Copies of this chain bind each other. A is one copy, B any other.
Amino acid sequence: MSTASLGLLAFIAARGYEQRLHEELRRAGFTATVAQFRLAARIDEGGSRLSDLARAAQVTKQTAGFLVDQLERNGYVERHPDPSDARARLIRLAPRGLAAQQAARAAEERLDAEWADHLGPGAVAALRTALERLRPLVDPYDAPD
């Protein structure tokens, strides 16, 4: 009843947020799937290796490769050889990917502001603090934005 687990509550919040974000990006003309965006969000400015991306997003290399294929086909990312390692290739955001990233950041700001409006400044700060402190506990690897 009033005793939903913290996990379920976090899941519901995260799902709602992600759906809204995906919808806003779709309306802005950036048609990619949630899984694709999730992976793309981990791409470093200077380019990322597939294996690192896979680790960060917690999927296998194969899955990451599959998603990068789609993103590449749709013009969001490019693959370049890695000068420091002939086995590896650097995945970088293409211009369209950068535009999508900007749109995503703007949408996230709007959504965060909406949550802040709903909760009030103190409660939203407490929420952020709690979630940030949980992060290393639940996901020791996860690199920041």
Contacts and interface: CB of A to CB of B under 8 A. Distances in A.
A17 B2 CA distance: 19
B14 A7 contact: yes
A1 B105 CA distance: 13
Given A6-B17, A139-B12, A134 B118 contact: yes
A12 B126 contact: no
Contacts of A58: 15
Given A10-B13, A21-B7, A119-B130, A2 B139 contact: no
How many of chain A's residues touch chain B, expressed as a range?
Answer: 35 or more
A52 B145 CA distance: 37
Interface of A: 1-18, 20-21, 41, 58, 108, 111-112, 114-115, 118-119, 123-124, 126-135, 137-139, 142, 144-145
Nearest to A135: B12
A84 to B, nearest CB: 24
A21 B16 CA distance: 21
Contacts of A134: 12-13, 16, 115, 118-119
A6 B118 CA distance: 13
Nearest to A2: B144
Given A118-B134, A130-B124, A134-B118, A7 B18 contact: yes
